[in-house]
Amino acid sequence: MLVVACIKQVPDTTQVQIDPVTNTLVREGIPFIVNPYDAHALEEALRLKDRFGFRVAALSMGPPNAEATLKKALALGVDEAILLSDRVFGGADTLATSRVLSEAIGRLNLREKVGIVICGKQTIDGDTAQVGPGIATRLGYTQLTLVDRIEKLDPLLGRITVRRKLEGRHETVEAPLPVLLTVVRELNRPRYPTVPMRLESAEATVQVWSNRELQLDQEGIGLKGSPTWVSRIFSPERQKGEIVGDGAADPAGAADLLVDKLLSRDLLVV
Amino acid sequence: MKALLIGEYRQGKLLDTTYELKAFADRLGADSVMLLVGSDSELPKYDGTLYLADAAKYGEYNPDQHKQLVLQAVEKENPDCIVFVHSSYGWDLAPRVAVALKAGQVSEIVALNEGAYEVNACNAKLRRTVTPKSGRCVLTIQAGAFTPSGEPQGTPQPERLELSGTASAIEFVGYEAAEQKGVDLSKAEVIVSAGRGVGKKDNVPVIAALASALGGELGASRPVVDAGWVDHSHQVGTTGQTVSPKLYVACGISGAIQHLAGMKKADFIVAINKDKDAPIGEIADVLVVADVMQFVPAFTAKCAR
Ligand SMILES: Cc1cc2nc3c(=O)[nH]c(=O)nc-3n(C[C@H](O)[C@H](O)[C@H](O)COP(=O)(O)OP(=O)(O)OC[C@H]3O[C@@H](n4cnc5c(N)ncnc54)[C@H](O)[C@@H]3O)c2cc1C
Ligand SMILES: Cc1cc2nc3c(=O)[nH]c(=O)nc-3n(C[C@H](O)[C@H](O)[C@H](O)COP(=O)(O)OP(=O)(O)OC[C@H]3O[C@@H](n4cnc5c(N)ncnc54)[C@H](O)[C@@H]3O)c2cc1C
């Protein structure tokens, strides 16, 4: 059985800055990382490999530089890594993204039966949480979102029991394979690559599939196949609280000013 | 323009966010009909057609069947948009419906802008405007972003929906309540909360020390609780406690809407964050731009003098 982890390379949004003049994202110098939720998806796939001996494939759609992300997945122990990259895939919204990813999964399934696809619950740059469910619906797989624990997996019976993390409660459900899971951070703690694994993976190559391989009708992919488009990215206007002192350069001085502020409002009992 | 609103019913109760769907439709200037998998015993106050399916029969959540029910209502009403709340329910169900209809989807809308939708990006530091090109679209709205202007009113005209025996692949096994124990923050006068910016579990005592120097309690954002740094009973926000202290100090907390929902009623809010553009600055009275681990010990020392 093949387990597929879908991983997206995203800009590290905690380091994103806004250009005060143009009010848009400053892209230069922002490091790219694996979408944090996808690191947990990958880890869970590797744990299934450790426990059951399944093969694991990592799949990513993105520009050529996303190869770096897949290299890391190889270093962690995935058996194959596939980058879906082609100009005609560019500008895709979630509908078009799930079209390409599900086609690729369909192709892998012809070689080896896919039992489980694992996605992050959402990305930190697009944040839509639509891609996983989109893949499940297209492939007709059972969809289980917000999974924080795999309780039981019976590959022979082809059934899985998972716990889903909902508002203020958990829900346990059982479902038949093949399934698509979208996972939350509580699921596991991702491993780090060891030095020997890193060295070994230096040899391994990332397969790149373009639309020559997938042969998708251009109407359904990329910009053309995308029913939504982002017309503007901007920084929301807000009234800001007063900034007290220079806390970075002079913490003690800022602390004095803050103490005064709280005293003047009778909020400090000294 | 016509909107199909998907109400939400959970553990035997109609959720208030159902009324936010109507507020959203009103702000869109759309006519609306509603669908609810719920119960006759608690119908929403709503003037208009209510497609009602029985939760006793179709489950409070049974994705395959609920999707079929939504598609049935879409067939009957031919709406321009189908609107969900961006809760775990809408989260799971909306994309199923969108893909089945080959419709575009916009997730977690926070505002409207001349026919386009605004959504947050990058931890709410940025907003983006998304425009659907497809005729029909699926939308999810952020809970709390579109509040009804007054008390909800009206009497729905229910129309029953039934499915002809589509079994679901997913079997519900059980619910488990999140643990409830520990402190009651709702009565605290001072709360000092730790966010992800605190960095690691070992740093939490530094924040707790400030809380006790100020004579208050320790609070926390959800990631800090999820990581096991602080017990869930200290969590502030939509899935934690709602608090209204005189003083709230947010240490390394970005100010996500779900956190704000739990503490925005505080009288005076101090935020300590290394990012001067963090959204918490929007509601804080004062902001100290600093590394929490450098600033908090200095501040604690002065408070405890
Ligand atoms: C600023 C901005 C705003 C956008 N707004 C919208 C919008 O409102 N509506 C819309 O339809 N599209 C929108 N898009 C496009 C959308 O984000 C991209 O199409 C993206 O490829 C998939 O969506 P996501 O990042 O939201 O993924 P999500 O649906 O949040 O991702 C869920 C999971 O799917 C998997 N996954 C997602 N993308 C990939 C990938 N490329 N390769 C491998 N696995 C993947 C990962 O496991 C991930 O954790 C927006 C994009 C940007 C940059
Ligand atoms: C359905 C749902 C329910 C939720 N319920 C809740 C809830 O009840 N409560 C809740 O809190 N969240 C809740 N969340 C999560 C919420 O969306 C946010 O993810 C969460 O509040 C973010 O926590 P944070 O601010 O601690 O972390 P982050 O958003 O990661 O912010 C960390 C902040 O710390 C700053 N920082 C980093 N390092 C330092 C440093 N060294 N010094 C100073 N500052 C630093 C950063 O600039 C950033 O602003 C919910 C989410 C969902 C989807």
Enumerate the residues of chain A whose CB falls inside 8 A of the CB of residue B128: 230, 232-234
Does residue A110 share a domain with residue A45?
Answer: yes
pLDDT of residue B168: 75
pLDDT of residue A93: 85
pLDDT of residue B147: 83
Distance between CA atoms of residues A30 and A18, nearest Å: 12
> In sequence order, what are the residues at sequence separation of 6 or more whose Cβ sits closer than 8 angstroms to the Cβ of residue B235?
B219, B220, B221, B222, B225, B241
Of A93, A165, A121, the closest CA to residue B130 belongs to: A93
Count of CB atoms situated within 10 Å of the CB of B8: 25
Distance between CA atoms of residues A137 and A182, nearest Å: 13
pLDDT of residue A201: 80
Q: Which residues line ligand 1 (CB under 6 A)?
A: A 6-8, 35, 37-38, 41, 59-62, 92-95, 97, 101, 119-120, 122-123, 125-132, 228, 230, 233; B 104-106, 119, 121, 128, 130
Does residue A145 share a domain with residue A211?
Answer: yes
CATH architecture of B2-160: 3-Layer(aba) Sandwich (3.40)
pLDDT of residue B24: 96
Quote the number of domains for chain A. 2
Residue A6 parent element (H or E): strand A2-6
Task: With a cut of 50, list the residues of chain B below it in pLDDT.
Answer: 180
Residue B157 C-alpha, separation from nearest chain A C-alpha, in angstroms: 30
Does residue A268 share a domain with residue A150?
Answer: no
Of A178, A175, A122, A120, the closest CA to residue A151 belongs to: A175
Here the tokens at position A22 are 């143009």
Give the ligand with the smallest distance to the CA of A91. 1
> In sequence order, what are the residues at sequence separation of 6 or more whose Cβ sits closer than 8 angstroms to the Cβ of residue A114?
A1, A2, A3, A4, A105, A108, A178
Which CATH number characterizes residue A212's domain?
3.40.50.620
Does residue A253 share a domain with residue A206?
Answer: no
From first to last of its 270 residues, chain A has per-residue pLDDT tens of 999 999 999 988 767 776 766 666 676 778 889 999 999 999 999 999 999 999 999 999 999 999 999 999 999 999 999 999 999 998 888 889 999 999 999 999 999 999 999 999 998 887 788 999 999 999 999 999 999 999 999 999 999 999 998 876 889 999 999 999 999 988 998 998 888 888 888 788 999 999 999 999 888 888 888 888 887 777 766 566 788 889 899 999 999 999 888 887 778 765
ipTM of the complex: 0.79
Distance between CA atoms of residues B200 and A151, nearest Å: 28
What is the CA A151 to chain-centroid distance, rounded? 22
Host domain of residue A176: 2-220
Of B223, B3, B15, B35, the closest CA to residue B109 belongs to: B3
Show me where the domains of chain B are located.
Answer: 2-160, 185-304
Does residue A261 share a domain with residue A165?
Answer: no
pLDDT of residue A62: 94
> What fold is seen in the domain B185-304?
Rossmann fold (3.40.50)
pLDDT of residue A88: 92
Does residue A269 share a domain with residue A204?
Answer: no
pLDDT of residue A115: 97
Residue B224 parent element (H or E): helix B222-226
Does residue A9 share a domain with residue A123?
Answer: yes
Q: Do A130 and B282 touch (CB under 8 A)?
A: no
Q: Which residues pair with B272 in a beta bridge?
A: B251, B288
pLDDT of residue B181: 54
pLDDT of residue A7: 97
> In sequence order, what are the residues at sequence separation of 6 or more whose Cβ sits closer than 8 angstroms to the Cβ of residue A154?
A160
| DSSP labels, B91-115 | HHHHHHHHHHHT-EEEEEEEEEETT
Q: Which residue has the tokens 């910016």?
A: B197
DSSP state at residue B198: G
